Amino acid sequence: MADQAGASNAPIPARTAVVIGGNRIPFARSGGAYAYSSNKDMLIAALDGLVARFGLQGERIGEVAAGAVLKHSRDFNLTREVVLGSALSPETPAYDLQQACATGLETVVGLSNKIKLGQIESGIAGGVDSASDAPIAVSEGLRRVLLDLSRARTTQQKIKALATLRPKDLSPNAPTTGEPRTGLSMGEHQALTTAAWEITREAQDELAYRSHSNLAAAYDRGFFSDLMTPYRGLTKDANLRADTSLEKLATLKPVFGKGLDAPATMTAGNSTPLTDGAAVVLLGSEEYARSNNLPMLATIVDAEAAAVDFVTGEEGLLMAPVHAMPRLLQRNGLTFEDFDFFEIHEAFAGTVLSSLAAWEDADYCKRVLGLDGALGSIDRAKLNVNGSSLAAGHPFAATGGRIVASLAKTLSEKGGRGLISVCAAGGQGVVAILEAR
């Protein structure tokens, strides 16, 4: 009873949803410029810039969807609180979404579907994350005592609840990047995949180098001038090293996969650092854009999600987009040849290179993806042409908004078709197609 929609359904004819524009704040390294900024602060900053750029003050938007991966319990209604703190009409509804690193892209998919169905005319999608201002939880022991205490009616019950408190209960729990079911960090998971696909250190450093040089070049030609609002003194992504070189990258020591038999190849240079930041995208129907005299950068064509069984090692943790891709392409009757730009989120250089290797491997594509042969190769000159997460940084839920806005702008300048691939914790991934107008 597998869901076959991925491969065989024809896309449902519906209205068209377009990307009107995007805005983000520069991404900061964890503990850097936004060390004391909260998720709410940063998402409001990104939204303020979007509102200003497109004159949305006082506007009632159809719906705002956003999320954060590391979220405080007090931020249960984060996006709605952000809307109330912004210049948008307080009558703008909002909801939170969480799909780990695919959060931002999934908000775009969800809202564009509502636009296509005619449920809303306009939407703002996005995400935010702070690794600096991360929630810290009290220990399980203290939490139990506090909850029991709140339920206690009599003094005797209260004393009884307090008596179970132990000194060790007073030390807090900080969030980790470990997968709950395996205990391995994301980096250690990727190290297994990187080793399985025999991705070399040189290839990973080369990809990291290109990410930095492409992002630096994009800044130099002013590409981000209408995609970004400075915040807290930052005007560029703090992680960008315009002057880095393959030689410098080669000096870094491996940080993941050191316990494996294969040589450790993943360094701080070819892995994304912990980052703070926010990104939002303005979406609308064609009618909405025309009647409000707004630009239409690109059409949101279609999207597909996938998940893989990484718990038993059947597949790599970050390889779900590899599975989503053929289903999305088949449904739309397209191949890699039909695309002019590829945005593959660089969680780690090894993630991108393992995905490319998998799609080029005829045996794997037949055996695992059920295809007739290799899915195909991607021309490296079309890959992440304005840099990606290795250079810009990766505030988890903000990455989708960054990619959609950058790709939509590239398509509006150069024309053609673009493909997005984002991997996520939990063995999940989302891929999407954008098309120039």
Partner 1 sequence: MSGTSREEVTLPDVPALPGLYRRALALAARRTMRRAPVALAVPAVQHRVDGVRVDLLALTRFQQLLGSAARDAVPSAYVHTLAFPVAMSVLVRPDFPLPLLGMVHLSNEVRQARRIDASEALDVVAWAEHLRPHAAGTQVDVVLEVRVGADLVWTGRSVYLARGVRLDTAGTGGRRDEERPAFTAPTPTGLWRLGADTGRRYAAVSGDWNPIHLSPLTAKALGMKTAIAHGMYLAARMVDQAVPAPSGPLHWRIDFATPVLLPGSVTTSFARAGDTGHRTDVVGWSAKRRHPHFTGWVRAE
Complex with partner 1: residue 183 or 333, whichever CB lies closer: 183
379 touches partner 1 (CB under 8 A): no
184 touches partner 1 (CB under 8 A): yes
Rounded to a whole number of angstroms, the CA Rg of the chain reads 22
Complex with partner 1: residue 248 or 367, whichever CB lies closer: 367
Candidates 328, 306, 326, 327; CA nearest to 317 is 306
**What would the x/- binding string for partner 1 be over residues 163 to 182, using CB under 8 A?**
-----x----------xxxx
252 touches partner 1 (CB under 8 A): no
How many CA atoms within 13 Å lie on the side-chain side of 322? Answer: 30
How many CA atoms within 13 Å lie on the side-chain side of 137? Answer: 12
Within 8 A by CB and 6+ apart from 262, the residues are 195, 198
Complex with partner 1: residue 169 or 286, whichever CB lies closer: 169
313 touches partner 1 (CB under 8 A): yes
Q: Are strands 94-96 and 63-66 parallel, antiparallel or unpaired?
A: parallel
Determine contact, residues 124/294, Cβ cutoff 8 Å. Answer: no
Q: Which of 101, 189, 212, 345 is catalytic?
A: 101
Complex with partner 1: residue 127 or 350, whichever CB lies closer: 350
Annotated catalytic residue 101: yes
Give min distance, CB of 318 to partner 1, in A. Answer: 14
CB under 8 A: which stretch of 32-40, 66-74, 308-316, 366-374 binds partner 1?
308-316
Annotated catalytic residue 394: yes
Give min distance, CB of 72 to partner 1, in A. Answer: 23
Structure tokens at 277: 């930041």
**What would the x/- binding string for partner 1 be over residues 187 to 206, using CB under 8 A?**
-x---x---x----------
Residue 127, burial from CB neighbour count under 10 angstroms (0-12, 13-18, 19+)? buried
Complex with partner 1: residue 225 or 312, whichever CB lies closer: 312
Question: Per-residue DSSP letters for 130-160?
Answer: -SSS---BPPHHHHHHHHHHHH--SHHHHHH
**Segment 253-282, which members bind partner 1 (CB under 8 A)?**
259-260
Q: What's the CA dihedral at 353, 354, 356, 358 to 10 degrees?
A: 160
Annotated catalytic residue 365: no
Binding site for partner 1 (CB under 8 A): 168, 179-184, 188, 192, 196, 259-260, 310-314
